[in-house]
Structure 1
Amino acid sequence: MILITGASGTVGGLVLDRLPTGGAVRVLARNPARVTVSRPGVEVVQGDYGDQDSLRRALRGVRRALLVTNRVAGDDDALFIRSACRAGVEQVVKISAAAVVDERADDLITRWQRAGEDLLLSSGLAWTLLRPRSFMSNALSWASLVRSESLVRALYGRSPNACVDPRDIADVAVRALTESGHAGRAYTLTGPQPLTAHEQAEQLGQVLGRPLRFEELDPAQARISLLRSHSEPVAEALLRSALRQQAGAKAQVLDTVREVTGRAPRSFRTWAQDHASAFAPDTR
């Protein structure tokens, strides 16, 4: 039995969709209605990391689990790992972040991810760590302005990031969940090249067949934008992370996706082509 958490999110849903058919799969979801993958062998159970009874039910009979947490500075990792140990889970595959291996990264989000990794590594469970660079799908935050004004706004638009397609993260996760040989491994996952936001906007415009204008946000403007969807501590952590990117800390390209899956990571242009409809003008 494989347990998937975060199935209504970016990576968890892709992992669930890619798991081989025929095996027993269980999904833990706060809101089962948000889990869109439905196929034979997939059981969806309602539960929450803070509800130990629901965790115990979800983990019963599970051998391997995908752990996705997103409550920054919360104790969801600790709650899940403790329950997994009690349930006799053999291996946990955790989605972490590439920044944890950068000694210069000391923002709130990175400290939280490091703490979650440390809990898993000291738990006695077999583990696999997936440490992706920024998601290419973060570009979806531009969709509204691209549709309405052919405009992209970003902070430090000339700073490079070797962002990764979430589908590549999911493909590596599926390997770790279904194959032997991945326990005790930490995989840092990047795309095939570092790109700046300006370059991403240019490629996206080429895919869409229309030029996109680019406007540079200053830090004050970026802070205001981030506070619309994040708490102040998380917004400040993201701003500090952007400063590290400006200094070149996120430009390194690794061939981990190819090493694990046997194929090259997807390019941003490929991601843009496959998601072009999200940026198309509303013609209704």
Structure 2
Amino acid sequence: MILVTGATGTVGREVMRQLPVGASVRVLARDPSRVVGAAPGAEIVRGDYGNPAALERAMRGVRSAFLVTNEVGGDQDARFVDVAVTAGVGHVVKLSAAAVEDVLADDLITGWQRDAEELLRVSGMGWTLLRPRSFMSNSLSWAPSLRSERVVRALYGESVNACVDPRDIADVAVRALTEPGHQGRAYTLTGPQAVSAVWQTDRLAELLGRPVRFEELAPDQARVLWSRRHPAPVVEALLHSARRQREGAKAGVVRTVAELTGRPASSFETWARDHLTAFAGG
């Protein structure tokens, strides 16, 4: 039995869709009605990390699990690991972040991910760590202003990030969940090139066949914008992360996706073409 958490999120949704036909799959979801694309026969368990009874039900008979948590600084990973150990789960594939390898990244989000990784390492279970760069899908946050104003707004628009297609992350995750040889491994995952928000804006304009303007945000403007969605400590962590990107910390490209899947990592153009309706408005 394979357990998938985060199945309504960007990567978890793709993991669920890419699991082999006929695999025994269970999905843990706070709202089962939002789980879309599960294979026929997949078992959906209602619950979350704050519900020990639901976690216990979800992990009965589970051999391997895909773990996604999102409460920065919270105890979701600890709760999951405690129940997984008791339930006898053999292997956990954890979605982490590439920044954990950056010794100068000392922000709240990166520290939380480092702590979560360590929980798995000392748990006694088998583990695999997935450490992606930023998701290409993060550019969907630009879609409303692009559709309404033909404008993309971002901080440090010329800084580059070797962002990765979430589908590639999911492909690696599925292999780690279903194939031998991945336990005790940490995989940094990037796209095929480091790109900037300005460059991405130009590519979107080309694909849409219409002009799109890039507008640089000042740090204080970004702080105000992000504060609408995140608590202050997380906003400051995001600003720290953006400064590390400006300093070149996220420019490195690795071939892990190609080495593990046998095909090149997807380009931003490929990802954007497949999601162009979100930017075009229909």
TM-score tier by shorter-chain length is over 0.9
In the superposition, the TM-score normalised over structure 1's length comes to: 0.98
State how far apart, in whole Å, the 2-side matches of 1:37 and 1:203 are: 29
Decide whether the 8 Å contact of 1:172 with 1:260 is kept in 2: yes
State how far apart, in whole Å, the 2-side matches of 1:46 and 1:170 are: 22
Match of 1:84 in 2: 84
Any idea what the Cα deviations from partners look like across 1:69-128, whole Å, max 9, x if unmatched?
000000000000110000000000000000001100000000000000000000000000
Decide whether the 8 Å contact of 1:21 with 1:41 is kept in 2: no
State how far apart, in whole Å, the 1-side matches of 2:235 and 2:191 are: 25
State how far apart, in whole Å, the 1-side matches of 2:230 and 2:210 are: 32
CA apart distance, 1:187: 0.2
Match of 1:124, SS? Answer: coil
Structure 1: runs of 5+ lacking an equivalent: none
In the superposition, the TM-score normalised over structure 2's length comes to: 0.99
State how far apart, in whole Å, the 2-side matches of 1:162 and 1:146 are: 22
Match of 2:215 in 1: 215
Match of 1:3 in 2: 3
What is the RMSD of the two structures over their aligned residues, measured on CA atoms? 0.7
Match of 1:133 in 2: 133
Moved more, 42-51 or 32-41: 32-41
Q: Percentage identity across aligned positions?
A: 65
Letter in 2 for 1:190: T
CA apart distance, 1:50: 1.3
State how far apart, in whole Å, the 2-side matches of 1:281 and 1:18 are: 27
2:10 aligned with 1:13: no
State how far apart, in whole Å, the 2-side matches of 1:281 and 1:97 are: 31
State how far apart, in whole Å, the 2-side matches of 1:13 and 1:223 are: 29
State how far apart, in whole Å, the 2-side matches of 1:245 and 1:132 are: 14
Report 1:1-284 matches (<5 A): 1-281=1-281
Decide whether the 8 Å contact of 1:23 with 1:41 is kept in 2: no
State how far apart, in whole Å, the 1-side matches of 2:200 and 2:39 are: 35
Decide whether the 8 Å contact of 2:201 with 2:212 is kept in 1: yes
Decide whether the 8 Å contact of 2:17 with 2:39 is kept in 1: no
CA apart distance, 1:149: 1.1
CA apart distance, 1:281: 3.9
Aligned length: 282
Decide whether the 8 Å contact of 2:97 with 2:110 is kept in 1: yes
- After TM superposition, which residue ranges in structure 1, 4 or more long, deviate above 4 angstroms? none
Letter in 2 for 1:40: P
